[in-house]
Amino acid sequence: MTIGVLALQGDFDAHRRRLEELGADVVLVKKPEQLDAIDGLVIPGGESGTFLKLLGDAGFDKLKEFVHAKPTFGTCAGAILLATEVENPKQKGLGALNIRIRRNAYGRQIDSSIREGKFLNGDRRESPLEMVFIRAPKIEHIGEGVEIIATEGSDPVAVRQGKTMAATFHPELSDDPRIHQAFLELCGTDTPVRRR
Ligand code: GLN
């Protein structure tokens, strides 16, 4: 199983290291055609507007096709890209996660922070999880078919829909490997792939 990390911009290297520590074969994806050779993809944090510019229309379309067919995990800017609806400002999304998400939702003073939230394990038991938020977006609305897999206070901060996963924080910057582990498990499951 080969996992790609989208390496156009942002903190892709920390994801690469974490996935390799967990035993995955990782390739850095810099060209759209590389998507044909991977089994799952991580879209890292960065600046979602810049990602859209760097992808261009053809790259966006190719990525959209990928995320509707194969497991994908987006963190922060990656979560924004995967959403169906993006606010502040409005921008297009890949539509793989039925959520509305607001960019830079925490305001200036607390725009970056480390907080303790709750991770819902596979058996739905809660356990504490360190979460690094950097100019984080907020998931404002959860649509049908979306499952919450982590919360911080009353906010959902990690979600899953079919083979798509997203976190508004940066699990690659904490020592805890459980979120990446959950994604690798998702890559290995045989849940039917969603089609839209
Ligand atoms: N603020 C960024 C955006 O709106 C996301 C920040 C991040 O990825 N750490 O795209």
* Residues of the chain under the 70 pLDDT cut: 108-110, 189-196
Q: Which residue has the tokens 């497991």?
A: 71
- The number of folded domains in the chain is 1
Q: Which atom of ligand 1 is nearest to the CA of 10?
A: 8
Beta strands in the chain (DSSP E): 2-6, 25-29, 40-43, 72-75, 83-87, 97-102, 112-120, 126-134, 138-142, 147-152, 155-161, 164-167
In a domain, 193, yes or no: no
In a domain, 71, yes or no: yes
In a domain, 148, yes or no: yes
φ, ψ of residue 80 in degrees (nearest 5): -60, -45
Residues having CB within 6 Å of any atom of ligand 1: 45-48, 76-77, 80, 103-104, 134-135, 137
Q: Measuring CA to CA, how many Å separate 20 from each of 14, 33, 114, 172?
A: 10, 22, 24, 12
In a domain, 94, yes or no: yes
In a domain, 192, yes or no: no
The mean pLDDT value of the chain amounts to 93
Clarify whether 76 is annotated catalytic.
yes
Could you give the CA distance from residue 129 to residue 143 in angstroms, rounded to a whole number?
A: 24
In a domain, 194, yes or no: no
pLDDT of res. 195: 38
Clarify whether 187 is annotated catalytic.
no
Q: What is the pTM assigned to this prediction?
A: 0.94
Clarify whether 170 is annotated catalytic.
yes
In a domain, 51, yes or no: yes
Q: What percentage of the chain exceeds 70 in pLDDT?
A: 94
Tell how far the Cα of 91 is from the centroid of ligand 1, in angstroms.
13
pLDDT of res. 193: 42
Pair of tokens at residue 97: 């996660």
CATH code assigned at 124: 3.40.50.880
Pair of tokens at residue 35: 């998507």
Beta bridge partners of 40: 3
In a domain, 28, yes or no: yes
**C-alpha angle 166-8-180 in degrees, rounded to nearest 5:** 30
Q: State which residues form the domain around 183.
A: 2-187
Could you give the CA distance from residue 118 to residue 170 in angstroms, rounded to a whole number?
A: 14
